[in-house]
Amino acid sequence: MDKELFMELLSKIGPRIEKQRTFWREPLEPRLRLALTLWYQAMGDSYQSLQYGFRVATNIICGIVRDTWETIIDEYMKEVIVCPMTPEDGRWWPRDSPISGTSITVRTLDDRHIVMCAPRKTGSIYHNYKGFHSLIILALVDTDYKFIYTDVGANGASSDVGVFLNTPLRRVFNNYHVGLPPRDALPGGDHPIHYFIARDDAFPFKEYLQKPFPLRGLFTGRTALQLLTVPCQTSG
């Protein structure tokens, strides 16, 4: 993060995280509170290591990180992560971008596992198929790599489909509360095709959700070549 972006963020949330001065204490400056929170989020340091770098007690750091991060989310939520709700919303429409494989793919949906320490007495609930404990973040991303919808908090043992099925996003799509743009033809074509969200092979086909063509049960290139080179058997 460069200085200009830091100062922009500070100007927006600074007044909201500034604490009142009293006879008993001199509060920490908003600049320090923001810097400490960003460092914690970016580097993953423990509170114990941060207390030496910033000269702030661990019990105070805990409250600073929580309060500052909640303020950042509240300040930017409606501006940054806004899921389009109507077909006419310009945020649906694809633009030239490295992740826009076709002109009818409007968004991409995927999830990631966030490494975490296993909570006490949770067994294998948070233990994922990759072999570590995690929380899952499911994100809908536009053609500029910007998040427009996120679902955070599913346990690591959940499947991709299971996470999606429990999100409000799936429910509003199924109930047609969120509409994609009207059908349109591919470049050079004349047959209208539905706009859709791209997803990987784990998901089912839906009118609004498409995935790569499955290769299961198809001949591999080597097998097909072997079949073509086998001489035909003719009867005498």
pTM beyond 0.75, yes or no: no
CB atoms within 10 A of CB 65: 19
pLDDT value of position 93: 57
**E strand map for the chain:** 105-115, 134-141, 147-155, 184-185, 192-193, 196-198, 209-210
Are the C-beta atoms of 126 and 133 separated by less than 8 Å? yes
Per-residue pLDDT at 165: 85
**pLDDT for position 221:** 53
Amino acid at position 147, single letter: F
What pLDDT was estimated at residue 235?
47
Instruction: Give every residue of the chain whose pLDDT is below 70, as ranges.
Output: 83-106, 176-180, 214-236
pLDDT of residue 99: 45
Write the DSSP assignment of 156-178 as a string of letters. Answer: TTS-HHHHHHTSHHHHHHHTTSS
What per-residue confidence (pLDDT) applies to 185?
73
Q: Parse the chain into domains and list their residue ranges.
A: 3-79, 90-210
Q: What is the Cα–Cα distance from 151 to 8, expressed in whole angstroms?
A: 27
88 vs 103: CA distance, rounded Å: 17
Residue 47 pLDDT: 86
CB-side neighbour CA atoms (13 Å) of 189: 11
